[in-house]
Amino acid sequence: MAATRVMITAAAATTTQPTSCFLSKRAFLLPAKTSCDGALSFFNRRAALVLKSNSKRPFSCTAIYNPQTKVQEEGQSETLDYRVFFLDGSGKKVSPWHDIPLTLGDGVFNFIVEIPKESKAKMEVATDEDFTPIKQDTKKGKLRYYPYNINWNYGLLPQTWEDPTQANSEVEGAFGDNDPVDVVEIGEAQRKIGEVLKIKPLAALAMIDEGELDWKIVAISLDDPKAHLVNDVDDVEKHFPGTLTAIRDWFRDYKIPDGKPANRFGLGDKPANKDYALKIIHETNESWAKLVKRSVDAGDLSLF
């Protein structure tokens, strides 16, 4: 029988909190127990629109107004069956990609850890499975590993999507990679798979992987001892010297041991600043909103 383990990953909601499921110019202040009917509409995710097509689940605000989540591990780690599901406060499965809010207001965002630092199992949200659990990536039926440890906590920004039908004129006309936006969190602590952290973005790297644009947002968890020292790309170089170059080089070279060419980087091979990172987050959140409204073709992606 598959092993199951449940762990709480985020603190309970406070009485009033900034939250929105669509990244606007400001976060809406909504009471923790406000119903969907009383909320501002349009991109209040799942608030008033029942999806047609093959989706069986309507829009709802459950996870938005109760950000406490738990992770439930099913199966044994480093096996094909291993999954890390997310549960809301009532024990129901929710999607880490779709149901955990992106923005918390005041430049703070949620970040979901897929790969803890100093590990090399290639974990990722299963974007084509119901409730999009975290699993270990596979190739030709075999579990995938990086050739060496990743030196930072790595994961995704919820409620973002890199649209594979949209070319980015600023990055060699590359199209999105059909995944949520990746985050490289540079704090000192090794985090756990499925942990939800509050982060602030600091920089962005425009990685081009086999012709696809695969953004890397460099960020730091707010609870890191150095978080108060870094607010933009120049601060990273000052307080974490060499880190931005190390991140770029790691992602450029990690496929070479498997006989593949090195990845490339746009924007002059340099990290963009915080404002540019925020622009990327905003644009990919807009793309995600179109995806879940079915304004664009979802293909094999799970929308619940």
pLDDT per residue over 245-269, tens digit each? 999 999 999 999 999 999 999 999 9
112-160 per-position pLDDT tens digit: 999 999 999 999 999 999 999 999 999 999 999 999 999 999 999 999 9
User: What are 159's two structure tokens?
Assistant: 């409620």
Cα distance between residue 302 and residue 132, in whole Å? 7
What phi and psi, each to the nearest 5 degrees, are found at residue 2? -65, 140
Kindly state the average pLDDT of the residues 2-19.
47
Whether this model's pTM surpasses 0.85: no
265-295 per-position pLDDT tens digit: 999 999 999 999 999 999 999 999 999 999 9
DSSP string, 181-234: PEEEE--SS---TT-EEEEEEEEEEEEEETTEEEEEEEEEETTSTTGGG--SHH
Kindly state the average pLDDT of the residues 168-183.
97
Q: What percent of the chain has pLDDT over 90?
A: 77
Least-confidence region, from 65-79, 129-143, 164-178: 65-79
Active-site entry in 82, 145, 146, 276:
146
The pLDDT of residue 304 is: 85
* Domain chopping of the chain, boundaries: 4-292
Do residues 293 and 45 touch, judged by C-beta distance below 8 A? Answer: no
Cα distance between residue 36 and residue 276, in whole Å? 32
Cα distance between residue 114 and residue 132, in whole Å? 12
Cα distance between residue 71 and residue 48, in whole Å? 27
DSSP string, 18-71: E-BSS--SS--EEETT--GGGS--SSSTTSS----TT-------HHHH----EE
Does the pLDDT value for residue 92 go beyond 90? yes
The pLDDT of residue 106 is: 94
Classify domain 4-292 at the CATH topology level: Inorganic Pyrophosphatase (3.90.80)
> For 32-64, b where at least 16 C-beta lie within 10 A, e where not — what string?
eebebeebeeebbbbbeeebeeeeeeebbbebb
**Is 146 assigned a catalytic role?**
yes
Exposed/middle/buried for 287, CB within 10 Å: 0-12, 13-18, 19+? buried
User: What are 150's two structure tokens?
Assistant: 């990743």
Q: How many other CB atoms are found less than 10 A from the CB of residue 93?
A: 15
The pLDDT of residue 116 is: 98
The pLDDT of residue 78 is: 96
Q: What percent of the chain has pLDDT over 70?
A: 78
Does the pLDDT value for residue 225 go beyond 80? yes
Cα distance between residue 40 and residue 30, in whole Å? 9
User: Which residues lie closer than 8 Å to 177 by C-beta, 6 or more apart?
Assistant: 162, 164, 209, 212, 213, 214
What phi and psi, each to the nearest 5 degrees, are found at residue 257? -60, -20
The pLDDT of residue 196 is: 97
